[in-house]
Homo-oligomer: A and B are copies of this chain.
Amino acid sequence: MPDENRQKDAVSIILFSGDLDKAMAAFTIANGAAGSGMPVSMFFTFWGLSLLRQEKGDGHSFLENLFKKMMPAGADNVGLSRFNFGGMGAKMLRKMLHQKESFTPEALLKMAMDRGVAFTVCEASMKILGITREELIPYERLSISGVDSFLQSALESKIHLFI
């Protein structure tokens, strides 16, 4: 019989999107929660993986390389979900963020790591997109796992969001 009461004040976020604006929203929520002492886990799947890549790696097939070229490498290069205008929108947003001295996506990612947010990378997405562990940023709290890992963490969290 399942324990009905085991949900904690924790947050589980699936980051499916690789868009700059959605990533910023995800990390802002994650960092806010982690800053309040809540355990936070982020599950990176599909386009969300692009935020954790450190550089363009060598693909294992033409199709994989093509996909890799379409996927920006690292939090510095992702676009907006809307009004991207070939990168213009993202550039403008970045500039505005700097003018306002707000946090950049890179800083948000680093803050999440400093606050101990757990990163889980979807194993199936890595296989499909041909991405290896070496292409991902180094972080001791980064693990590679399947959907069961997300479900387990989500069952134990009060808040879960698909972004």
Residues of A within 8 A of B (CB): 2, 4-9, 11, 14, 16, 18-19, 21-22, 24-25, 28-29, 32-33, 36, 38, 45-47, 61, 63-64, 66-67, 70, 82-83, 89, 92-93, 95-97, 99-100, 102, 124, 127-128, 146-148, 150-151, 154-155, 158-163
Q: How many copies does the complex hold?
A: 3
Q: Out of B25, B147, B161, which one reaches A29, CB within 8 Å? A: B147
Cβ distance A125 to chain B, nearest Cβ, rounded Å = 9
> 13 other contacts beyond A16-B22, A19-B82, with CB at 8 A cut-off?
A7-B7, A14-B25, A21-B46, A29-B151, A32-B146, A38-B151, A61-B99, A63-B99, A67-B92, A93-B128, A155-B159, A159-B160, A162-B162
Decide if A46 touches B18 in the complex (CB within 8 Å): no
**A-B residue pairs in contact (CB < 8 Å), sample of 25:** A2-B8, A11-B151, A14-B29, A16-B163, A24-B46, A25-B45, A25-B46, A25-B162, A32-B148, A33-B151, A36-B148, A38-B151, A47-B82, A61-B99, A63-B95, A67-B92, A93-B128, A100-B128, A102-B124, A151-B159, A154-B158, A155-B158, A159-B160, A160-B160, A162-B162
